[in-house]
């Protein structure tokens, strides 16, 4: 019996030692997503590889900033810019088409340490919406601008402009043609294939100074009605950061909005004392329905959680403890 | 000693009996606000009386609906319509001027029993924005429309339209003239006088079926930049209702938004088990700064709480237990 007790004690110590690197606070951490939905596992290997490469490239953009002691705010902005510039994802270049055959972009960014935020909806000429969102945050007394007012705000800045056609890609054009025939944006869930209709990009980060930040950007919903505002630029729904956690959402915008999902995750964690992972589980199972959404999140200790109740979510994370993940489906 | 004990027992029963009507669930309850801010106690008695009358009239509009077994949703819509039509309040007729000398209106409505919601920003021709918000909620797969897209949505409905000049009032025009000289919307807090620059109307209700609803409407901020979206149409910030509580906010929009105030009140109550009043106190003291905002709220038991950290808030409430309150300042 005595030997068994000693063995148990030794085992306990061993387990504690093994777990230690994971329970220590990470110096910095970063997670990102490139959209959630029904993503077929049958997509060609070359395309699959392009997605993985895109996610890795974006992770590297953030890693360099955070490793060198840069701010979480810089990291999430540059990661999202990188994903906006990648035509594979529904944000910036490669955004989906509206019902009118144009591109209307939304974005938001939030600094968890100050609760400063910037958000935009209905952009038509801004190459990198997340960068203009940061300008709103830093240079305006307001948080959120829409449509023509947002473009007018942009006129006062040196943000890079493009023609609306810049956002065109052949793939999105074909999706829009299909969507027009089956009116997909009205009942989007039945139509989800390979993230065709939804899709968002986002990033969350903790920096070496302990500050959290979140950013999200999207081309919205394929065939969406003119002027529809989704969850992405809604502080509290698609994008949120405070002293507890930073969260970026992707999925069915209206479901994410009516549940004020991002802030509810942060509040659940803060008010119930649960872990970040438990908070994501709560919102994904108790508030949202299967197929609705996915989240990437990081807390003040550098814990990362990336969860969805959809079949897949393009996602990746990296932290100062050497964890590095790039995934699309639940089990890989 | 024995007599004292009996007396104590009798006293306890008496206290319980007296308190009973207050601790029982109210069959229905309604609270509303007409804006918060620094409201001078020196305003002329006749004007004061007009405000009280306006609040009472709006309360009556909701009381009739709820007493007859109507829905919380109908009650909040009709109360807010009533306040929109009253030129004293900054919503509908009597809305403030934008920096461009026009009127841009925002509104939102939310059904706590289904989490259905409708929201609009940048309306220019809709007589009663709250009614169009309800149409978005009921007739659209989307929740939120902005600007020209919102007007286009309206074109598909029979909602009552007006010229933008309909919203003109001499008082608001004078305020705008003053605001232009001191650029008041940039640093609004120093300029708060008599609710000149802010102001919102809102209502929350519980109906006999136990359903909660919230609605808010505003002309925004005097001299606001074109396209600025405030807290009112942001589900979770200015307006929120779920199975726990219904909340409508008023005050400095950006502060209300960055704290996702309405949902944080509902979350705090749900996740910590606190009362509605404690939840309002938490957000007003732990999250917001003095002078930022006020809230009216009702929970699923019909408890009403109306609190602000500003000097005054036009407000009123009524419930099936016979409580009836109309107030402007803290102590009256």
Residue of A nearest to B288 (CA): A115
Which has the closest alpha carbon to B259: A275, A143, A279, A249? A143
- Strand pairing partners for B241? B246
Give the pLDDT confidence score for residue B67 in this predicted structure.
98
Give the pLDDT confidence score for residue B100 in this predicted structure.
85
Judged by a CB distance cut-off of 8 A, whether residue A147 touches chain B is yes
- Backbone region of residue B307 per phi and psi (left: phi > 0; alpha: psi in -120 to 50; beta: other values): beta
**The most confident of A105-119, A178-192, B19-33, by mean pLDDT:** A105-119
Instruction: Read off the pLDDT of each residue in A75-101 and give the average, rounded to a whole number.
Output: 93
The angle subtended at Cα A312 by Cα A306 and Cα A314, nearest 5°, is 65
* Contact map slice: A 38-67 vs B, CB within 8 A: none
Catalytic one among B200, B216, B239, B264? B200
Tens digit of each residue's pLDDT (9 = 90 or more) over B3-18? 666 665 655 555 544 4
- Strand pairing partners for B229? A144
Half-sphere exposure (Cβ direction) of B323: Cα atoms closer than 13 Å: 20
Number of other CB atoms surrounding residue A321 within 10 Å:
15
| Residue A75 lies in domain | 26-329
Has residue B179 been placed in a domain? yes
Predicted TM-score (pTM) of the model is: 0.90
Name the 3-class secondary structure at B161: strand
**pLDDT grade for A179, boundaries at 50, 70 and 90:** confident
Judged by a CB distance cut-off of 8 A, whether residue B153 touches chain A is yes
Has residue A318 been placed in a domain? yes
Tens digit of each residue's pLDDT (9 = 90 or more) over B59-68? 999 999 999 9
Tens digit of each residue's pLDDT (9 = 90 or more) over A62-86? 999 999 999 999 999 999 999 999 9
Mean pLDDT across chain A, nearest whole number? 89
CB A259 within 8 A of CB A287: yes
Name all contacts of A322-329 with Cβ < 8 Å and 24+ positions apart.
A324/A59, A326/A52, A326/A55, A326/A56, A326/A59, A328/A39, A328/A48, A328/A51, A328/A52, A329/A39, A329/A41
Tens digit of each residue's pLDDT (9 = 90 or more) over A256-313? 999 999 999 999 999 999 999 999 999 999 999 999 999 999 999 999 999 999 989 9
Lowest-confidence region among A208-212, B143-147, B220-224:
B220-224
Give the pLDDT confidence score for residue A127 in this predicted structure.
97
Has residue A42 been placed in a domain? yes
CB A46 within 8 A of CB A75: no
Has residue A163 been placed in a domain? yes
Number of domains in chain A: 1
- Whether B237 shows a pLDDT value over 60: the answer reads yes
Chain B hits for A149, Cβ within 8 Å: 122, 147, 225-228
List the single residue in B146, B148, B260 with the smallest CB-CB distance to A263.
B260
Tens digit of each residue's pLDDT (9 = 90 or more) over B151-166? 999 999 999 999 999 9
List the single residue in A142, A149, A271 with the smallest CB-CB distance to B268.
A271
Give the pLDDT confidence score for residue B266 in this predicted structure.
98
CB B86 within 8 A of CB B94: yes
Give the pLDDT confidence score for residue B41 in this predicted structure.
84
Alpha helices in chain B (DSSP H): 2-23, 45-67, 72-85, 129-139, 147-155, 170-182, 253-258, 261-272, 276-282
Judged by a CB distance cut-off of 8 A, whether residue B142 touches chain A is yes
At A262, which CATH number?
3.60.20.30
List the single residue in A115, A150, A257 with the smallest CB-CB distance to B235.
A257
Q: How many pairs of residues across A and B have Cβ atoms under 8 Å apart?
A: 158
Lowest-confidence region among A10-14, A61-65, A198-202, A302-306:
A10-14
Give the pLDDT confidence score for residue A19 in this predicted structure.
43
Has residue B19 been placed in a domain? no
For residue B265, what are the CA distances in angstroms to A114, B217, B261, B294, B305? Answer: 20, 20, 6, 12, 11
Has residue A92 been placed in a domain? yes
**pLDDT grade for A157, boundaries at 50, 70 and 90:** very high
Which has the higher per-residue pLDDT, B295 or B95?
Answer: B295
Instruction: Read off the pLDDT of each residue in A120-142 and give the average, rounded to a whole number.
Output: 96
Lowest-confidence region among B94-103, B120-129, B181-190, B218-227:
B181-190
Inter-chain touch A145–B227, beta carbons under 8 Å = yes
Give the pLDDT confidence score for residue B2 in this predicted structure.
61
Tens digit of each residue's pLDDT (9 = 90 or more) over A236-247? 999 999 999 999
**pLDDT grade for B284, boundaries at 50, 70 and 90:** very high
Inter-chain touch B236–A240, beta carbons under 8 Å = no
Has residue B9 been placed in a domain? no
Angstrom distance (rounded) from CA A267 to CA B220 = 28
For residue A75, what are the CA distances in angstroms to A161, A287, B269? Answer: 22, 30, 34
Judged by a CB distance cut-off of 8 A, whether residue A170 touches chain B is no
Judged by a CB distance cut-off of 8 A, whether residue B324 touches chain A is no
Has residue B182 been placed in a domain? yes
For residue B198, the distance in angstroms to the closest alpha carbon of chain A comes to 14
């Amino acid at each position: 019996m005595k030997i068994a007790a000693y063995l148990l004690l030794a085992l306990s110590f061993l387990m504690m030692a093994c777990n230690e690197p994971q329970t220590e606070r990470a110096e910095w951490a970063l997670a990102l997503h490139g959209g959630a939905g029904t993503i077929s596992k049958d997509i060609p290997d070359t395309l699959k590889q392009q997605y993985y490469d895109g996610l890795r490239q974006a992770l590297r953009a953030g890693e360099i900033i955070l490793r060198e002691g840069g701010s979480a705010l810089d990291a999430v902005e540059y990661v999202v810019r990188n994903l906006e510039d990648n035509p594979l994802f529904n944000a910036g270049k490669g955004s989906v088409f509206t019902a009118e055959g144009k591109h209307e972009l939304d974005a938001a960014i939030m600094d968890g340490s100050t609760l400063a935020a910037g958000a935009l909806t209905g952009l038509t000429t801004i190459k990198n919406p997340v960068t203009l969102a940061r300008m709103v945050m830093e240079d305006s007394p307001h948080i959120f601008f829409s449509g023509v007012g947002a473009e007018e705000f942009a006129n006062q800045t040196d943000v890079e402009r493009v023609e609306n056609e810049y956002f065109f890609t052949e793939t999105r054009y074909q999706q829009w043609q299909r969507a027009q025939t089956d009116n997909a944006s009205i009942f989007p869930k039945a139509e989800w294939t390979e993230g065709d209709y939804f899709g968002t990009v986002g990033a969350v980060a903790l920096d070496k100074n302990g500050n959290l930040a979140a950013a999200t950007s999207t081309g919205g919903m394929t065939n969406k009605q003119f002027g529809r505002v989704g969850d992405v630029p809604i502080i509290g729904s698609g994008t949120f950061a405070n002293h507890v956690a930073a969260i970026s959402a992707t999925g069915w915008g209206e479901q994410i909005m009516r549940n004020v999902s991002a802030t509810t995750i942060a509040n659940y964690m803060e008010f119930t004392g649960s872990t970040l992972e438990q908070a994501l589980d709560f919102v994904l199972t108790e508030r949202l329905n299967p197929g609705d959404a996915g989240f990437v999140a990081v807390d003040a200790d550098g814990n990362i959680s990336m969860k969805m109740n959809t079949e897949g979510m393009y996602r990746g994370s990296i932290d100062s403890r050497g964890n590095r993940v790039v995934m699309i489906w639940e089990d890989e």
